[in-house]
Structure 1
């Protein structure tokens, strides 16, 4: 027998549907308008349907440096991702044991999340200027974005190690493994899916970060800064086409990370079953 659902269920379902529409409505609208015809504008109603503006996007642009800014954002995202994973794992391992000043250090790290991003950008830019260092996306921009990604990575690692079964490490040490061998061959393979999550956070938060890069990127824009600049001088749906492509790229990246995590979980489960069969 099917369970009878009351009025509250449908009210909550309707509210959830409106919430989803609120989240993804603007993105869907931009995606639809990006398929305007050659004489299409920036608003509805649409004037034809074509891929004209996508073709135009790959032609030589009169203004902006779209693909150069994309390469910079991609490179910066990868740099931030790798650094976030490494530092988060090291921080997670360090905080497994209480040490003097650990509480103060934890709150100092988390505090950067509640400080307005534009102030972080301004502060990092001022520090580089005072030290007579070049303000550049690979240095000051990189540092500013780490103040955004590292706290998230550390929080994930804290949750992972709070649930970590230490008996695996004890078994490895009983078998004569060194501390480094235990981390390399036992701890890291077990937490690998979580590391993929940290990497995903690091890359996606960096790839589309605007405020913390605004005053720290120097003379070369990242993709979010380039798109913001285009909004002031581009009056065609080519801007929507760019937004659609960057959204698709983000979704592909997320799908690849999720697939990698699934494959690692499957491999880990298969290895566990093989080990169990070998013990029988």
Structure 2
């Protein structure tokens, strides 16, 4: 071997016992994650006489149907008087808040990331200030907002203190996503648009935004999912409004029923569908860019 040349690296081989000892912690962690999901999925198909424990009696989808119509359970001849909860209003509130939060967070995060592309005094401090929302405890933010709003005479509610708390929580994640993609952004594309006579505003909407489409969609979906099931940032600042996490906690404190499991399964399913849609969209976008580059 010539001096100064690096030795070729050989693959690391583990013994059978080493592989087993490495696999055991992984299996345990995966079990803690997925076994509860499997259990609530099974229990969500309990019959009208069944409770929140095994065995499952007379399995069916009654508890799923009860999420839109409580009479499906209460009018059933085998209904034993278990507690039932109306989640419809809280679901609507969470959807409205999550969509609004996702739109606002995406818009602010994209504008902030665009501003950080230009070097200016205090840019690093501004970045740290934005990211502070990730590490600040949600209860502290919620309690602080309700205190400030009461001093200013602002009524706590879904689209007053609620939207502010959720944007403070979700916007830093959207900002990080935009910063990652902006760091890979080729400025020569924008410079070419300027050379052809496009203004900065025209370049932003006709060149920058289309290229950043994966980040826009990803930011919207991520902020939506973070806001939809957020509890800590909602506990003190929703006033008379009730979001789905607040309603679920209140219901679980009274009695855990299969309707809570059914709702949990639906939330997990919707989250997985949104995640899959985002992954498919990103893959298609990158594939189109590769074809254009070729």
Q: Same fold (TM over 0.5)?
A: yes
Instruction: Compute the displacement of 1:235 (Å).
Output: 4.1
Q: Find 2:66's aligned residue among 39, 48, 56.
A: 56
Q: Give structure 1 stretches of 5+ with no counterpart.
A: none
User: Quick check: 1:131 aligned with 2:149?
Assistant: no
Query: How far apart, in 1, do the equivalents of 2:277 and 2:96 lie?
Result: 17
- The match for 2:26 is 16
User: Quick check: 1:85 aligned with 2:98?
Assistant: no
Query: How far apart, in 2, do the equivalents of 1:17 and 1:172 lie?
Result: 52
| Contact in 1 for aligned 2:174/2:223 (Cα 8 Å) | yes
Q: Find 1:46's aligned residue among 23, 33, 56.
A: 56
Query: How far apart, in 2, do the equivalents of 1:265 and 1:70 lie?
Result: 35
| Structure 2 CA distance for partners of 1:269 and 1:75, relative to 1, 3 Å | farther
Q: What are the within-5 Å matches in structure 2 for residues 116-195 of structure 1?
A: 116-195=137-216
Q: Give structure 2 stretches of 5+ with no counterpart.
A: 1-11, 72-82
Q: Find 2:121's aligned residue among 100, 109, 116.
A: 100
RMSD between superposed Cα atoms in Å: 2.1
Instruction: Compute the displacement of 1:263 (Å).
Output: 3.8
Instruction: Compute the displacement of 1:267 (Å).
Output: 4.2
Q: Deviations over 1:218-268 (max 9, x none)?
A: 101011111111112234312211211222222222233333333433444
| Structure 2 CA distance for partners of 1:86 and 1:38, relative to 1, 3 Å | same
User: Quick check: 1:218 aligned with 2:247?
Assistant: no
| Structure 2 CA distance for partners of 1:52 and 1:65, relative to 1, 3 Å | closer
| Structure 2 CA distance for partners of 1:65 and 1:37, relative to 1, 3 Å | closer
| Contact in 1 for aligned 2:84/2:259 (Cα 8 Å) | no
User: Which structure's CA Rg is the greater one?
Assistant: 2
Relative contact order, CA 8 A, sep 6+: which one is greater?
A: 1
Count of residues in Structure 1 that have an aligned counterpart in Structure 2: 271
- The match for 2:97 is 76
Instruction: Compute the displacement of 1:57 (Å).
Output: 2.8
| Contact in 1 for aligned 2:101/2:166 (Cα 8 Å) | yes
Query: How far apart, in 2, do the equivalents of 1:22 and 1:60 lie?
Result: 32
| Structure 2 CA distance for partners of 1:184 and 1:228, relative to 1, 3 Å | same
Query: How far apart, in 1, do the equivalents of 2:276 and 2:209 lie?
Result: 22
| Contact in 1 for aligned 2:177/2:219 (Cα 8 Å) | yes
Q: Which stretch shows the higher mean deviation, 93-102 or 206-215? A: 93-102
TM superposition score normalised by structure 1: 0.88
Q: Deviations over 1:13-45 (max 9, x none)?
A: 443232222222222211111111222121223
Instruction: Compute the displacement of 1:148 (Å).
Output: 0.7
